[in-house]
Structure 1
Amino acid sequence: MIIVIYATFFFIILRFAVTIFNFISDPKLRRVNKSYTNLVSILIPARNEEENILTLLTSIYQQDYKDYEVIILDDDSSDQTYAICAEFAAKHSNFRVIKGKELTGQWLGKNYACHQLARQAKGEFLLFLDADEQVSDGLINSAVHRMHFRNLALLSLFTNQKMITIGERVTVPLMHYILLNLLPLRLVYLSKNASVAAASGQFMLFNTEVYRQYEWHKSAMDKIVEDVEIMKQVKIAGFNGESLLANGMITCRMYTSYGEAINGFGKNFLAAFNYNVFSFLIFLILLIGGPMMVMITLNLQLIAMMIGLIILTRIMISLESGQNAFINVILHPLQMFSLVLIAFSAIQKYLTKTTEWKGRKI
């Protein structure tokens, strides 16, 4: 019991230190006044996105950066995605939509769609966005500035998350919680070690010249979490990569229900642990089982210290990620319960090889 408690507090304090580092270093994309005119190719893979795609396209059209082209790839949608995009493109000259080719070989759907989009692009920078997002003024110009300033081959942003239902609120915050609780985000750029990598496929901005040389999506054709894999490969190749928080300049509503969120996170959670089920279970035991053991001791000082560290951690991470700190603190137990469900879903799908997304087996 004593060993478990010591291990629990060591783990909590270590994660608290990482959270403080992230809070103080404030790894956000900064707005800049300097204007750029580089042509940016905005590339959007879309599969059955009729409910989301128009919001994204309208937000791109209305934002302030004007030197861009938009290419949408319809990835064998069974809904009205293509028709909606085609109608929008007919009214806006720098938007166009293409039909994706049939999936072949070891390719996963999104990776193949991005590969095809890159080959159609003309811009000096390639910006890959998901169809369920919404961009704001300052985003593209600030990102292009960062590419020049840091001499980056890849800039990835963790978008601000839009949450409406209670199901979303007890699942979606886990993404930023685990990220900012375990990884000092500034180290993605500062460390040359490829194992220190993080990225989000919701925003991936590439230097086109470097991308064409390495064809990053092709090199990660069969990877479920292709974003992190590509960041690793960028660093292995000796280029600079950076991951930052979006600072409110791009938002995303990842999921619309509890079940969808559990299924969605379940398909890629194990990837963060290199598909090592044992390591994943140890992490869960320390994260959730450890605090429960501390509660069982009925030692009020230990319990108060533990709860205080957890609350401060949740507040700092919530403020950094643009989320409601009070709600995240109140819902923390339910979020941890959701994490357990996600874990079992991830392990079950991995062991039975039944991982599926958007109607395709992975």
Structure 2
Amino acid sequence: MSVFTLFLVFILVVSLAVLRDYFLAERHMERLEQVPPLEGDALPSVSVIVPACNEEQGIEQALTSVLALDYPGLEIIVLDDRSTDATPQILDRMAAKDPRLRVIHITELPAGWLGKNHALHLGAAQAKGEFLLFTDADVHMAPDTLRRATAKMQAFQLDHLCLLFRMTAPSRLLCLLIADSLSAAFSLAKPWLVRKPESPYFIGAGGFNMIRKSFYHSFGGHHPIRLCPVDDVLLGRLAKENKGRCDCLNGSRLVTVEWYRSIREMVLGLRKNTFALLDYRVS
């Protein structure tokens, strides 16, 4: 058998495995829009924590969607992590118009921390909510997203909830490349198994990592992963390792993000995330 034939067989086997995992996910993963939203105004308090570094291109649109969330008493903390573009000015202008939005300007990075990890840890320390929602500065959410997510957290007494979101890109080709590249990571994570306590699988996504604040602080927050570049995935790992009740839902109809703006960004980002995920799977 030639090398080329072996290569084709390998590609076929991998493709079938990914296709199998896709159908398993479709069958076993709950969609967020299927969760009845919490009603009324007496709801658990939630703090949304958004790290931002040089996000002038899209942060105003993303935060506008967060401010439009139908959730009473919402606290929104944005950490401006030493931005050198117009991000600080945009944030200050938006905060002046809406008291729910609190901006913290970070001017120095403490030794032994990565910037985003430090920003998230600092935001959590300032948060007043019973639940923390870590999200990114380019994420857009439908107005009922938080009522449904909190309903899921409450109904199943979850400690950590991750949502898979819909990714958009400037071109159709880039969308196809992103979807194809993520298929292997999806198969590694097996998000439909995260909810099982006996399962070793874990997951986290920077676009939507929701966690009970008391549980988050019980294991030291982001401090154990202060130098890890895939903080979102490893927050899921910390939740699982510390015996938290975890789940992952398909939130693609309610949460969207423009993940990469170019093929170069995609290659660099996926290389970092995939290799880190592989490393943490075997360690």
Partner Cα separation in structure 2 for residue 147 and residue 136 of structure 1: 18
State the superposition RMSD in angstroms: 2.3
The corresponding residue for 2:76 is 70
**Unaligned stretches of 5+ residues in structure 1:** 280-362
Per-residue CA deviations over 1:264-303 (Å, capped at 9, x if unaligned) read: 2232221121179xx9xxxxxxxxxxxxxxxxxxxxxxxx
Task: Using the TM superposition, give the Cα deviation of residue 209 of structure 1 relative to its aligned residue in structure 2, in angstroms.
Answer: 1.1
1:217 offset after TM fit, Å? 1.0
**Which residue number corresponds to residue 213 of structure 1?**
218
Q: Provide the identity percentage.
A: 28
Mapped to 1, the partners of 2:204 and 2:123 lie a distance apart of 20
Which one has a bigger Cα radius of gyration?
1
**2:209 corresponds to 1:204:** yes
Q: Contact 1:27 / 1:185 at 8 angstroms: preserved in 2? A: no
Match for 1:161: what amino acid? M
> Who is 1:22 aligned against?
25
State the partner residue of 2:268.
263
Q: TM-score, normalised by structure 2?
A: 0.88
Matches within 5 A, 1:106-117: 106-117=112-123
Contact 2:18/2:183 (<8 A) preserved:
no
Per the TM alignment, residue 263 of structure 1 is displaced from its structure 2 partner at its CA by 2.3
Query: 1:243 Cα deviation (Å)?
Result: 2.0
Letter of the 2:17 counterpart: L
Give the Cα–Cα distance (whole angstroms) in 1 for the partners of residues 9 and 67 of structure 2.
54
Match 2:136 to one of 130, 152, 161: 130
Aligned AA for 1:80? Answer: A
Q: Which moved more, 1:42-51 or 1:145-154?
A: 145-154
Paired position in structure 2 for 1:192: 198
C-alpha spacing 1:225/1:82, structure 2 compared with 1 (3 Å): same
Q: CA deviation at 1:6?
A: 6.1
Residues 84, 8 of structure 1: alpha-carbon distance in 2 compared, 3 angstrom cutoff: closer
CA distance change for structure 1 residues 154 and 84 in 2, over 3 Å: closer, same or farther? same
Counterparts of 1:227 and 1:68, CA distance in 2? 22
Deviation at residue 219 of structure 1 after TM alignment: 1.3
Q: How does 1:42-57 map to 2 (within 5 A)?
A: 42-57=48-63
2:153 counterpart (147, 151, 157): 147
**Could you list the per-position Cα deviations for residues 27-48 of structure 1 after superposition, in whole angstroms to 9, with x for gaps in the alignment?**
4223414326111101110000
**2:34 is equivalent to residue 34 of structure 1:** no
The aligned counterpart of 1:314 is none
Counterparts in 2 of 1:141 and 1:33: CA distance versus 1, 3 Å? closer
What residue ranges of structure 2 are gaps of 5+ in the alignment?
Answer: none
Residue correspondences, number: 276
Would the aligned equivalents of 2:35 and 2:151 in 1 still touch at CA under 8 Å?
A: no
8 Å CA contact 2:142–2:255 kept in 1: the answer is yes
Q: After superposition, what is the alpha-carbon deviation per residue over 1:117-165, rounded to whole angstroms, capped at 9, x for unaligned?
A: 0011101111111001111121101110111122211111121112222
CA 1:88–1:9: 2 relative to 1, 3 Å? closer
Are the aligned partners of 2:185 and 2:274 in contact in 1 as well (CA < 8 Å)?
Answer: no
- Call closer, same or farther: CA 1:254–1:16 in 2, change over 3 Å: closer
Larger fraction in helix:
1
Matched, 1:235 2:255: no
Secondary structure (helix, strand or coil) at the match of 2:76 reads strand
